[in-house]
Amino acid sequence: MAGPDDEEGVAVATGHPRKGYLPVPGGSPAGKMSAEPQNGPKAGCVALNGVPRDSPTAVSGALGRLQTQLAPEEETQIRLLPTTPGEEPPGAEGSPAPRTALSARRFAVLLIFSLYSMVNAFQWIQYSIISNVFEGFYGVSSLHINWLSMVYMLAYVPLIFPATWLLDTKGLRLTALLGSGLNCLGAWVKCGSVQQHLFWVTMLGQALCSVAQVFILGLPSRIASVWFGPKEVSTACSTAVLGNQLGTAVGFLLPPVLVPNTVNNTDLLASNISTMFYGTSAVATLLFILTIIAFKEKPRYPPSRAQAAIQDSPPTEYSYKNSIMNLFKNMPFVLLLITYGIMTGAFYSVSTLLNQMILTYYKGEEENAGRIGLTLVIAGMVGSILCGLWLDYTKTYKQTTLVVYILSFLGMVIFTFTLDLEYIIIVFVTGGVLGFFMTGYLPLGFEFAVEITYPESEGTSSGLLNAAAQIFGILFTLAQGKLTSDYDPRAGNIFLCAWMFVGIIFTALIKSDLRRHNINTGITNGDIKAVPVDSPTDEESKTVMMSKQSEPAI
């Protein structure tokens, strides 16, 4: 069994986009598609309808039937087979089966990404949670401070397509370096904005951080797929998303403590803001250096058969434009795009306006507003991890997503109608319930998208999900902010509840087609199965090693 690979001496590869998805030619020689029972002497072949390898005529006939009978969502596996006449599929007789192994470096990659994603999320929310303090310091309106948060959402939409193109064509490492580097640069620019007339400088620094976010938010599902095995991929994605949530939690907690409301003492206020900005810059710089040193493109061996099939496909067939078009032709993904945008946009809006909502009913409670935000996100972090573990255990993507969506809606309703009861402890409880489900939904959307769009790029699907979230986030923040200022927070929250109810309906309509899971388990459809190399012969074991930690037996 292959152990963790030694990363020394391994060349850093470029991205491995989804490429070469063409049907098997109808005239392919039957001998090239030899099939064999799973418990035969040569595992790792393709079994068609259980037809033995000594029946080439039957095999050829089965292939002919496949081309006419398969539904579009069932063609995933066939498209991953070689298209060149005379070329054998991975695992066919006479060719080595794809190797899979788990790399020990995967934990370092995941940790570094999670930490610099945390700093980026901290910088997103650090203004909003003490919006009244920054309004007084810079002498601007609440709308100006809200735009320090919304610029994150605004920048994402036009930049998502070049960012995902870069991820697909230039690779994971370059994208990670851009995200971490721009995050560091934006933090240092804000250090020069600690004067009352330099609001535009702090906006410039925040804009740089918002560009960095474009190279961060789409990476969790890609990192999980490229570095982690089938039994841990959902948990890894949840952990990567967890870093961003932790940054939001710290952003709710620290700014009210580091920058208390001392508007009457401008010099002290400027000193406190400077302390927060310089501390953030130091941490961001350290993480950028660690990204340069430790962040690799991909492990030596793919962690799963799904990744092995993708990496073995010919690079000349890949088209980013076609990949985008395929995603928008995928109706389950389009529905998920809308529902994810609604849920995450609602979370962005609540996070941005939380300070204003709390202070409407609880005057002078800036620190408690931050603690409520912290409670919301910490509960969501727990929800994310539990949802990731549940998905890895059950693979019930649609059912889990729908249940969490419904519970998020109920949590939002309860939060809305208990906010003005004048018992702040109730707000802590309802905020925690809301956060547990609403924030716990985020990795569910990423993983569900990867499953129903495989073998398209994880970066592209998650990037489009985040773009939808930013669009809905801007619209919801502007609308809820207007309703909150013109009427009261309840009106704005009811607006979000109505949209979340629409999201429940659309989620129920999503057709669950777990393509990646079917590849990893060997369950493709009624006509074709991939047989694992669980018991290689002595000769094969010298060159082919299958990690039983990452590949379940069939």
Q: Considering the domain boundaries, does residue 513 fall inside one?
A: yes
- Is 74 domain-assigned? no
Distances (CA, A) of 486 to 129, 133, 143, 317: 20, 22, 13, 55
Higher pLDDT, 52 or 532: 52
> What are the residues whose beta carbons fall under 8 Å from the beta carbon of 204, sequence distance 6 or more?
189, 193
Considering the domain architecture, whether residues 274 and 132 belong to the same structural domain is answered as: yes
Q: What is the reported pLDDT for 342?
A: 94
Q: Does 300 share its domain with 340?
A: no
Query: How high is the pLDDT of residue 470?
Result: 82
pLDDT of residue 118: 92
268 and 388 assigned to the same domain: no
Give the model confidence (pLDDT) of 472-481 as tens digits.
988 998 899 8
State the pLDDT at residue 453: 83
Question: Taking 90 as the threshold, does the pLDDT of residue 217 lie above it?
Answer: no
Q: Is residue 536 part of a domain?
A: no
For 22, 296, 297, 320, 540, the CA distances from 316, given in Å and listed in that order, are 12, 24, 20, 12, 30
Provide the token pair at 26. 């109808």
For residue 91, the one-letter residue type is: G
Q: Based on the fold, state whether residues 299 and 326 are members of the same structural domain.
A: no
Residue 83 has pLDDT above 90, yes or no: no
Let me know whether 465 and 421 are in one domain. yes
Asked if residue 239 has pLDDT above 90, the reply is: no
**229, 364: one domain:** no
Task: Report the pLDDT value the prediction gives residue 531, as an integer from 0 to 100.
Answer: 33
Domain that holds residue 173: 102-310
The pTM assigned to this predicted structure is 0.60
For residue 495, is pLDDT > 50? yes
Per-residue confidence (pLDDT) for residue 519, from 0 to 100: 66
- 230 phi/psi in degrees, rounded to 5: -60, -30
Structural domain includes residue 276: yes
* Position 371 pLDDT exceeds 50: yes
pLDDT for 521 equals 63
Domain-located, residue 189: yes
Q: Do 369 and 305 fall into the same domain? A: no
* pLDDT, greater one: 544 or 186: 186
pLDDT at position 313: 62
Tell me the range of 253-257, 458-462, 537-541 where mean pLDDT is highest. 253-257
* Residues 275 and 372 placed together within one structural domain of the fold: no
Q: Between 335 and 171, whose confidence is greater?
A: 335
- Of 190-199, 266-275, 435-444, 526-535, give the lowest mean pLDDT range: 526-535
Q: Say if residue 476 is in the same domain as residue 502.
A: yes
* 303 and 160 assigned to the same domain: yes
The last residue of a domain, from among 310, 331, 352? 310
DSSP conformation class of 521:
H
Give the integer Cα–Cα distance in Å for 126 and 206.
10
Query: Is residue 364 exposed (0-12), middle (13-18) or buried (19+ Cβ within 10 Å)?
Result: exposed
Mean model confidence pLDDT for the chain: 75
Query: Predicted confidence band at 529 (pLDDT cuts at 50, 70, 90)?
Result: very low
Residues 139 and 284 occupy one common structural domain:
yes
The CATH code of the domain that includes 482 is: 1.20.1250.20
Which of 310, 342, 371 delimits the end of a domain?
310
Number of structural domains, the chain? 2
Identify whether residues 258 and 156 lie together within a single domain: yes
Minimal CA–CA distance to 19: which of 229, 168, 167? 168
Residue 272 included in any domain: yes
